[in-house]
Chain A
């Protein structure tokens, strides 16, 4: 008996130790970024220690006073909100008939939506680039914001799945009370689906805050750079006629960049776990 108990305790300590080691490893890049911003260029390129030996604020000063940080942040926020609001609204509209109405061609529409979920974005980015070039949208945020207002298949799928778990009796009761179909969507389904909407909203915000690929293809000028491209292109300095990457400045900028998604996750974590669950309606 006692043996089994001590074995159990040993197992518990072992598990916790493994979990703690993984936690440290997973957090290492974040710690490296957070401390890197306080190092000097000389230190960053010669010493491999985590903690800065002579902490300096010059990297942050450079970012605030000599770079277009405010502009990059503004662009990123416009991109993030523009796409997220668009996709929430349009995906809800499209998911609604797929979850609630019988109509001709429903199966076909749903199959196409599922199939398009599988198309990697990058496969279509060159033809889209040419297309957006023709209508003069290159070097702006439009190639990314406008398509979000026309429903993302993945979000449509997620919302449809959740709408289907809501009892139809609620719709029917509302219909008897004279509620229009649009009213059913926005007064019944959307409020009940709040966790799903928060989940999709947070995921979308984090996705676009972090997105590098599409801005790299579509944006050229400094005016419309998002933070992610700025991190790759804006913190170089010239040294004996070659471009050198100023790593500590990058780490300082990355420090400011990684905080918002982490905060968004903390805010949304309650919903994120609940929203991902396939489960139904409680209470």
Chain B
């Protein structure tokens, strides 16, 4: 209100030119938003109602794609897998990032040295990490099997990425090496450094232990940052998993579609099955899922997050 009163005092022409100047600066975003976001969204909804093929032939078919989608085993499985990754994987990655940040937060020499080793593997291309792990987790000459064989004194030949019992732990482990996880570690480390020392001292005086200190002082203080990063993590699980899983387990999400997240299915339907209209219907689901995650996390944050920061 105060701002409104202030600008009302200014001459009208000045206000108009202020608006004009502001929108001149916003031009790149306005063009970009319209052409590369808004139009594709509308076009996606429209195309999802057609049977468009990759060669461009298209015919309006109403909601047939959506009906077929919810009848398809492949899609329902993919939806389940996507939600599993967006929840479980994000939790695993967040806990890992916080643990690393806590380890580095101890006032010790050599933290910079360790941070170097923790962060560096996350800046290299995901396709390189995926290919490294395809062979590390390989059945015949994999590093993990040969290490376990040497350790246990018998031949271990588990096909880690193709065995339905081991594929999830193996893939989740690979995601610890993603950019997002490394980023989270840095952000949490910085957030931990910002927690006022007096709070810890007060807690120490009340005779609290390390775990209590974490749950009663540290976690409430860093919760806005945890919220922001969990949200980011869930969205980037929808988005960034393609870059890890496509080279790791392929477009069909081996074994048996257990790792076929929606982004892989979109790619497969559009480029292997040439069904672009159907791929758009899948994209609509991805889009709505992202909106849902955003809404859920913001709603949940209202009660749990401490904003006095």
Contact = CB atoms under 8 A, between A and B. Distances in A.
B21 A97 contact: yes
Interface in B36-51: 36-37, 39-41, 43-44, 47
B95 interface: no
Given A122-B266, A261-B124, A12 B44 contact: no
A167 to B, nearest CB: 18
Main secondary structure of the interface of B (DSSP, over half): helix
Nearest to A96: B25
A44 B22 CA distance: 60
Contacts of A45: 140-141
Interface residues of B, number: 94
A166 B293 CA distance: 33
Interface of B: 3, 7, 18-19, 21-23, 25-29, 31-33, 35-37, 39-41, 43-44, 47, 52, 56, 100, 103-104, 106, 108, 110, 114, 116-121, 123-129, 131-133, 135-136, 138, 140-143, 145-147, 149, 176-177, 179, 186-187, 189-190, 194, 231, 235-236, 238-240, 242-243, 246-247, 263, 266-267, 270-271, 276, 279-280, 283-284, 286-287, 290-291, 293-294
Contact of B19 (A103, A129, A231, A258): A103
Interface string A89-103: 010011011000111
A46 B140 CA distance: 7
Interface stretch (A13-21, A53-61, A171-179, A190-198): A13-21
B243 A212 contact: yes
16 contacts: A26-B121, A26-B176, A27-B117, A29-B177, A32-B135, A45-B140, A103-B19, A118-B291, A122-B263, A123-B287, A124-B36, A147-B36, A149-B32, A216-B242, A258-B124, A273-B190
A257 B125 contact: yes
B108 to A, nearest CB: 7
Given A127-B40, A210-B179, A254-B131, 15 more contacts: A15-B103, A23-B114, A26-B177, A90-B28, A116-B33, A120-B236, A120-B286, A122-B266, A122-B286, A124-B36, A127-B39, A131-B39, A150-B33, A247-B131, A250-B131
B19 A47 contact: no
Contact of B126 (A94, A122, A210, A227): A210
A122 B56 CA distance: 20
